[in-house]
Structure 1
């Protein structure tokens, strides 16, 4: 119940920033229109690029905007606070809590992601559906599988960001690594272009990396590109990366917290 309370508290915390949420919805929507018209021009020249028709390409744009804050596709997502607490030494207080450090921050991140999905995910997607012909499913089962896929994607995203934050135990300032991680996330999730568009061997490799589980797989699930055995393989792919990265995070956490040194204190 402790972690449920942490998740609920995180949800309420982000819900208090109503103006920031509205500003985020506006930004996501405007950026969605810019990218959508760019995709229209691209798919007019190259129909069925990456195996998508134009409606699917536009759907990918708005799914990306819906998950931009939910899955923290540009990094951060609340784990900046953990990075700062490690830098200042306040992490020592966290380690005294009768709760697991990783599960505590995971619960907080899930609460944040839930609020962002409702607050900054639904509205841009709705606007996109009204303005463009999107390839959205009409059955509840596909939507349910999509939400499950989004959950797995958030877990993978958290696990990657948690590893970056833990690096601050060995670095005086982890902001540079966080910036590199954010750029890698934008590129390898498909935020810039769907991973299916990448040519040749590069396209095959990037779809095997953990970042593909954050956006590319959920988008393909919602658009019906993954169905049947493909759907199962996609969910297993996500769950596998989530489990592996969370386990790696526990190993790094164990190594980092054996001895905590506060710089300058």
Structure 2
């Protein structure tokens, strides 16, 4: 119980910490809103030519745009969050101090990132979504249950996003400068999450593959849950898909962390 209370406190602190970055938050809200309008008008032109592209009508496609803009900050699709800080602590050697603490390194950063994600969803997600709702006809549900299921999918998506970024951050143990890996990871997240286009738009075998990649659990799945693309047991299947990737990637992170910890011990004597 004490340990769970500690991680809860870390999550709360993560929420409060990002709440102090008011200028950065305002800039993020503005950027997401402007980009949302650009993407929305692009989708209008595209869906005018292909009314059921990707299995969405125009109102659903526009809703997908603004759901994506609401999730950019929460999912750290454009980078940021704990990743750069952890990489810097690895580069400077301060991570050795973290490893001596009587807490789990991965769980500590996960708790902090969950707090950050909650703040970003509220602070950077609400305004773009409201702007999109006022400016366009969006196929958003009115049922509280649909929104509750959406929040579950968002929570699982944040965990998957964290697990990917944690693995990327740990590469700094070997690369020292993890900037290159972070850039590759960000590009992969942008393309394979559905941030630019719904993954259902991609045809054939390529489309089948990208929909099974972990990045789909970050944005595509939460958006489809809210849009009612999953019915009945399909919603549970979507959650299982996200949870499986979360478990696989978290376990991979623990394995890499164990190897990296051994490396630190060996180098440090």
Please give the TM-score of this superposition, normalised by the length of structure 2: 0.96
User: Partner residue of 2:102?
Assistant: 98
User: Partner residue of 2:233?
Assistant: 229
1:188–1:211 Cα contact (<8 Å) kept:
yes
1:89–1:262 Cα contact (<8 Å) kept:
no
Rounded to whole Å, the distance in 2 between the matches of 1:259 and 1:237 is 33
2:219 to 215, 222, 225: 215
TM-fit CA distance, 1:261:
7.2
User: Partner residue of 2:147?
Assistant: 143
Alpha carbons of structure 1 residues 247 and 137: separation in structure 2 relative to 1, 3 Å: same
- Count of paired positions: 263
User: Partner residue of 2:113?
Assistant: 109
**Partner-residue secondary structure (3-state), 1:192:** coil
**Residues 152-193 of structure 1: per-residue CA shift (max 9 Å, x gap):** 000000000000000111112111011001000100001111
Gaps of 5+ in 2: none
**Residues 78-111 of structure 1: per-residue CA shift (max 9 Å, x gap):** 2110011001101011111111000000011001
TM-fit CA distance, 1:75:
2.4
Rounded to whole Å, the distance in 1 between the matches of 2:161 and 2:6 is 22
User: Partner residue of 1:162?
Assistant: 166
User: Partner residue of 1:18?
Assistant: 22
2:181 to 156, 177, 181: 177
- Over the aligned positions, Cα root-mean-square deviation in angstroms equals 1.2
Rounded to whole Å, the distance in 1 between the matches of 2:253 and 2:176 is 20
- Superposed, which structure 2 residues align to 1:2-151 within 5 Å? 2-151=6-155
Rounded to whole Å, the distance in 2 between the matches of 1:157 and 1:223 is 21
Query: Which structure features the higher share of helix residues?
Result: 2
Alpha carbons of structure 1 residues 252 and 220: separation in structure 2 relative to 1, 3 Å: same
**Residues 202-238 of structure 1: per-residue CA shift (max 9 Å, x gap):** 1111000100000000000000011212111111100
2:63–2:138 Cα contact (<8 Å) kept:
yes
Please give the TM-score of this superposition, normalised by the length of structure 1: 0.97
Rounded to whole Å, the distance in 2 between the matches of 1:261 and 1:183 is 33
Rounded to whole Å, the distance in 1 between the matches of 2:173 and 2:261 is 8
Rounded to whole Å, the distance in 1 between the matches of 2:209 and 2:109 is 30
Rounded to whole Å, the distance in 1 between the matches of 2:41 and 2:172 is 40
